[in-house]
Structure 1
């Protein structure tokens, strides 16, 4: 087989993958319509903050606007050894709110047992009394409909045929929400498209029964599932504790679903510079490298597209550009479908810039991941 033939086959495999993403999103999308409920279960909302005084006020303001029965909503907050005014802000906000608890996190040194955030959550959850544990981060803004939307997805009756085909043995134990990146600058818009594209692929895989990961800033876990896997303190060390516990919950046979709707869309802060972005992506790569082989192959096709199409351009210019244009069209159409579902504005200019951004960050992340250096996360080095 010639080199050109290998290049064409590689590119065609990626185009096929893109086409299937579009088809499956359009034909196999699983929604979880809201139901009128007379009774809502008790829920515990958990949020860990570390050096977040600059952005945390918006998060707390959003908590005040959550539409959920007050007597059924418990909020547990933790200051994870911040070096700014985070702890003071949390305590001041909790004053006069009987349903809010602020937990003091015991000191520890990150080791091979647990990372910083997982350590904090493991200490918080024994204080939780809700049927469901719902998680977000201090740099996120949740919509008022968030809790009801996530609980509805956890409680809505499942399709028995779907459950049997996916081989779920137990109740629904995990709900993953959708997250967008806020901000008006070009870099923020590129990160938003990046998150939507990635989470869109996760949604497609989830709806076909292949559980991939979850997002710790928009996640619900049933207390039953959490206790059966032993919690964050028992699932083993990982830079991506959300990925680790999702994997443990799936192994136990609990059903996991991915909810994509405007009602549960959380807004997170963008990384302000390329250094921070690559460090974030390096941390995510630790989780990606622990995916099943077939999923790693799909991700590898994404990264290999650039060298394959460049080599093709050298030999067959027209064919190379045709394949590249086709890939961009399929990729952009997939993102547009997601944005329409979420009610976001669509910009073709941003989609053009995103192609450049995505190919650059994909390879920069690979280099950063294999570069022999520590990963810095929330001021801690691992």
Structure 2
């Protein structure tokens, strides 16, 4: 009975992985609209909240300074969200270098929101662009980023998600990057099938009118994953958000430096995932249950268990390598096999962390 139950779970996961590979390779969609001339490009307001980001801000601001977009059509809004380091000074100096830059001091105006959503809601009221483009202070954008996001927009979509990659620095960072590839790959496939799972707050474009139509961030209920709630609100309002997966829409983000901070991040994401429809939650559960189920099969039928595990690894390698290749990144096989051990440890550690009776620590705030 145990063996048959384990076989059913593992088989379901293998079918899921096979479908992910199939839809990614056979049904991949690029959402580039007609080419836009310089005169046709819309006005864009970029929003970048920052809280105690003195170590990463210089890289972020350098990228924003080098954007290939008409300066007269670009507004960059930054915010110092009660930092107690040099974040405020760095932002002040950078804003003073160009008239299209604006710094906002954040107040506790929307107490029903988390800190980041509260900051974004206030920043959006200062935005003058036809589009709002969101990123984080620990991200590094490429020169084509704004144009790539704008060209992917259609009125039906309302919201465009761009590609976020983790910087490939150190083994721990590279393994986190593979975790992102898997997650974003599932989001991409679901998007191309017409149902974006979630928005990604450090790389998303929203039509300003659509943003106001859903009430802005201030109109959302409390959540530790405000990007997920915004994507949900957009879909409820009748929009069909899309995921523009391309080298031009890609930005880089930093990896977590230690196990504790990584588990805090994943605990917050898991809170957001609890709002997904039951069938998506079931698919995620299958991912986690694979390890105890395949180990059970190994106990009863070693060769069968090893073969099924190898099938899963093959599908996973094809999927992740395909995702990375789309943006000209090569991942060696040895990393992909080490990732399997990493994923086993992190996924089950996240479950323990999630149910552990402690609050989420995010940017020195507890929720």
- Whether the TM-score (by the shorter chain) exceeds 0.5 is yes
Match of 1:195, SS state, is helix
CA contact (8 A) 1:171 1:255 kept: yes
Q: 8 Å contact 2:225–2:269 — kept in the other structure?
A: yes
Map of 2:332 onto structure 1? 347
In structure 2, the partner of 1:193 is 178
Whether the 8 Å contact between 2:158 and 2:234 is mirrored in structure 1 is: yes
Question: Of residues 187, 192, 205 in structure 2, which corresponds to 1:202?
Answer: 187
Q: Distance in 2 between matches of 1:35 and 1:228?
A: 26
Q: Distance in 2 between matches of 1:230 and 1:21?
A: 34
Residue 129 in structure 1 maps to residue 131 in structure 2: no
Cα distance in structure 2, aligned partners of 1:25 and 1:195: 16
Q: Does 1:227 align with 2:212?
A: yes
Residue 49 of structure 1 aligns with which residue? 50
Contact residue 34 and residue 149 of structure 1 kept, 8 A = no
**What is the correspondence of 1:1-382 to structure 2 with a 5 Å cutoff?**
2-33=1-32, 35-38=34-37, 39-107=40-108, 113-155=112-154, 171-382=156-367
Counterpart Cα distance in 1 of 2:236 and 2:17: 28
In structure 2, distance between residues paired with 1:188 and 1:106:
34
Contact 1:49 1:86 in 2 (8 A): yes
Instruction: Name the CA distance, whole Å, in 2 between partners of 1:118 and 1:364.
Output: 28
Work out the CA distance in 2 between the residues paired with 1:323 and 1:96. 58
- Cα shift at 1:36: 2.8
Query: Distance in 1 between the 2:32 and 2:211 partners?
Result: 25
Q: CA RMSD in A?
A: 1.1
How far apart are the structure 2 equivalents of 1:359 and 1:244?
A: 28
User: Residue 163 of structure 1 corresponds to which residue in structure 2?
Assistant: none
What residue is the counterpart of 1:161 in the other structure? none
Deviations 1:259-308 (A, max 9, x none): 11100111000100000000000000011111000000000000000110
Q: TM-score, normalised by structure 1?
A: 0.94
**Structure 2 gap ranges (5+):** none
Shift of 1:32: 2.3
* TM-score computed with the length of structure 2 as normaliser: 0.98
Shift in Å, 1:234 = 1.1
**Structure 2 partner of 1:159:** none
1:107, distance to aligned residue in structure 2 (A): 3.5
TM-superposed CA distance for 1:184, in Å, is 2.2
- 1:34: how far off? 6.0
Structure-1 separation of matches of 2:34 and 2:144: 13
- Cα distance in structure 1, aligned partners of 2:217 and 2:118: 7
Runs of 4+ in 1 over 3 A off after TM superposition: none
- Given that residues 196 and 240 in structure 2 are in contact (C-alpha distance below 8 angstroms), is that contact kept between their aligned partners in structure 1? no
On the 8 A contact 1:177/1:259 being kept in 2, the answer is yes
- Aligned counterparts of 1:34 and 1:65: Cα–Cα separation in 2: 24
> How many angstroms apart in 2 are the aligned matches of 1:68 and 1:216?
21
The answer to which of 183-192 and 267-276 deviates more is: 183-192
CA distance in 2, matches of 1:342, 1:36: 21
